[in-house]
Amino acid sequence: MAEKKKQHHLLLVASPLQSHINQCFNLAKHLTSSTGAAVTFSTTVYGHRRMFPSISVPQQEVNDGLITFKPFSDGFDVHGYQPESMDVKEYITALRTNGQRTLSTLVKDLAAGGRPVTCIIRAPFLEWVVDVAGEHGVPSVLYWIQAATAFITYYHFFHGFESIIRTHSVDPLFTIQLPGLQPLQIKDLPSFLTETSDNSPYAFFIDSFRELFQVLKRDVAVLMNSLTALETEALALVLSQRLKVFAVGSCPLASPGNMFKEDEKKYMEWLDTKEEGSVVYISFGSLSVMKKEQILEMVKGLKESKSPYLWVVRKDNKEKELLDIEGEEGDHDGNGMVVEWCSQVKVLAHRAVGCFVTHCGWNSILESLACGVPMVCVPQWNDQGMNAKLVESLWGCGVRSEINGDGVVKGEELVRCLESVMGDGEKGVEIRTKAKYVER
């Protein structure tokens, strides 16, 4: 009798960030359905508790029938990382020290329970996971959760272009030609590449990316949350660097548990009352915080545009910046609704949504593409400027807003962008058509 084929058991490790968790969960679902492998999903205890607030024990294992959720500890199980009281670099150091030890214990416990791990997959900024994999004699794989274009841009930065980019980092309009890519301006590059001040709280991220590319030499492969149809040239460029890369992008799914409590306002029912393609959906994601000036300009532009809108303003942003104008947005003739959090995929898939004003996080970009919704791009930092470039120049399914000297999109500029995307003119029709038929 032929020996029964051994089932693989994949351990997927993610940082306790909503965007990382969403993408890693989608990958986990994709892997269980396409390969039949068993998957254990692991983030920090604090992140695990926020995903599953009803569990009685912080480290309680959860199983949804296909995926097992089992956390590791970063040493901040109760309150998580608190940016107001701890330097981000100190936290990353603690995450590495505590995470390496507790994740190793988790791998041992899984083996002892008859579920030995056969491969560990990690999201970026968790390079210490490679050492855990080596300790237990299993292969490791990187899951790249940004665009392939961003990946090859980082690669070129560390392979010959660091000096010229740093030299011109303060000139947002300086154009640079990276091999195989369309010309890019400094403002299009990931912001970490142009952060030259050692005093910046984000300066150390460039060292993290440098470590990522050094560690890649020890990885089996790289999984990319993209599709060949979306980034044909960029993926070909990555493959040309003799890296084992697999594009594994798929239609976004619902997260198993939001780290933010969904607003109790009946926003889906409100959308049901609106005409098809009429609503402006606005969200700057789970990390970006709008300045008070930006909120005021956003209100000004929305009033002038007269378009109905659904606007996500997180509680942590709302309490600090929106309290004094809550009355204004509430008195907008019933034309708008502000919520603290919502199911973004459900909103984008609703027939009433005609435009997405987005910070251009990669997860939001993919969700908008999957739902065929055109975008007004308001990039903030990280890879978002590059994503905006892809939306406007490569796919043509949106426009990038202009900012003033303080980094704020003025109300009149928002009106211009909304008209470009949602108006009856030739440009608006073209953008909406491309949004619906971008290959994905």
Walking along the chain (440 residues) 10 residues at a time, the average pLDDT comes out as 69 93 91 92 96 92 93 95 82 94 98 97 95 97 96 95 94 95 95 79 81 88 93 93 86 56 84 97 82 89 94 68 46 74 93 97 94 95 95 97 89 97 95 85
What are the φ/ψ torsions at residue 120 (nearest 5 degrees)? Answer: -115, 130
Domains of the chain in sequence order: 9-145+219-247 (3.40.50.2000), 267-437 (3.40.50.2000)
Q: How far is Cα 232 from Cα 212, in angstroms, rounded to an integer?
A: 23
**Three state DSSP letters for 187-235:** HHCCHHHHCCCCCCCCCCHHHHHHHHHHHHHHCCEEEECCCCCCCHHHH
List residues bridging with 130 in a β-sheet: none
Phi-psi region of 382 (alpha: psi -120 to 50; beta: other; left: phi over 0): left
Rounded to whole angstroms, the maximal C-alpha distance in the chain is 75
Instruction: Give the H or E element holding residue 380.
Output: none
Which pLDDT score, from 0 to 100, does residue 2 have?
Answer: 45
CB 393 within 8 A of CB 182: yes
Residue type, position 38, single letter: A
Tokens of 383: 């890879």
The pLDDT value recorded for residue 195 is 79
> Do residues 359 and 378 make contact, with C-beta atoms less than 8 angstroms apart?
yes
Phi first, then psi, for residue 330 (nearest 5°) are -75, -20
Other CB atoms within 10 Å distance of the CB of residue 47? 25
What residues contact residue 165 under an 8 Å CB cut-off, 6+ apart?
157, 176, 186, 189, 193, 194
The whole-number pLDDT of residue 98 equals 97
Question: Which one, of 277, 305, 293, 284, lies nearest residue 374 by Cα?
Answer: 277
d(CA 181, CA 163): 18
User: What pLDDT, on a 0 to 100 scale, did the predictor assign at position 90?
Assistant: 87
Q: What is the pLDDT of residue 286?
A: 67
Q: Would you name the residues annotated as active-site residues?
A: 20
Q: What is the pLDDT of residue 242?
A: 83
Q: How far is CA 165 from CA 149, 308, 397, in A?
A: 16, 42, 28
